[in-house]
Amino acid sequence: MDGRISTRGNGTYELYYGLVTSAAWAAQQLQPARAEAAILVGPAQSGGKFATINEAIAAAEQGGIITVLPGRYEERITLDGKFVTIQAAQAGSVEVVWESSRPYEHTLECKNTQGAVVVRGMLLRHRSPSVAQNYCVFVGAGSSLVLEACDVSSSSGNGVGVEGATLQLKDSQVHNCERHGVAAFGGFEGAPGRCLVMGCAIKSNKLSGVFVRDGGNAVLRDNTVVDNGEYGVALLDGCTARLFDNKVAGNAAGSVRVDVGSVAVDVSEVNGKNALDTPAAAIRL
């Protein structure tokens, strides 16, 4: 295994790591959307068929494409048992905001999807007073999400969270979150929380940029992880991770924390294959 990631012609990724022996978790084959399934969201005077994204999701067929016209949408996007593509008509022109006084309310949530959900080109903002599972974007057990070219921030919790599910986070920004930028955990029934993070900027979060623990399984490549309040990347008990070609600098507690003896992480590889402003801290518990 040589630590490479190759891009297939269909836009998915195949990982060649000792960590992962097949692409099943990181590169689920997306079922192509049918042309007749395309749906437009936005004001009627602009050609929108639906006023809200959730109305469009309810009407969409499996594998459908939902295109969102520019604007601010104050709603929670919930995908339960359905996989679709949701894309901004123009990258960065769509802001989805959910601010609530109620706990456990995410701006974007995937649960029990039967295929990979794709969300592309959106600004996602969040506030909800949860003690646990406080995420702007939450990928719950049994789900798969591809989040691409998005901008994510939570003023109350974590930016993106995966628990016993699968996440591909690509070419996105996760920043200025009250807690971690990206957090990966296993599920309650033992399923790993798998995340592939590529080409992202993860910065200025109050705690760590990337936090992996308790069944989290992460591959980080070609990311910039800077100016976070704790570690750039924290790899704690019960997790597995590989890091390649990342820049990790300016984080208050240090670049990378590795809890040696309780995680499947090669500290020498982390130091040798990434640009770190401080060596990875190997903490023996």
Q: Give the C-alpha distances (Å, rounded to integers) separating 245 from 255, 276, 277.
A: 14, 10, 13
pLDDT value at position 114?
74
Does the CA dihedral 129-132-136-140 come out positive or negative?
negative
How do residues 6-38 score in pLDDT, each as one tens digit? 333 333 334 433 344 333 334 443 344 444 457
Look at residue 243 and tell me whether its pLDDT is greater than 60: yes
Terminal alpha carbon distance of the chain = 29
pLDDT value at position 123?
99
Look at residue 272 and tell me whether its pLDDT is greater than 50: yes
Does the CA dihedral 165-160-183-80 come out positive or negative?
negative
**9 or 50: which carries more pLDDT confidence?**
50
pLDDT value at position 261?
84
pLDDT value at position 119?
98
**Which domains are seen in the chain, by residue range?**
36-284 (2.160.20.10)
The arithmetic mean of pLDDT across residues 84-103, rounded, is 96
How do residues 145-202 score in pLDDT, each as one tens digit? 999 999 999 999 999 999 999 999 999 999 999 999 999 999 987 899 999 999 999 9
Which of 75-79, 229-233, 262-266 is the least confident region?
262-266
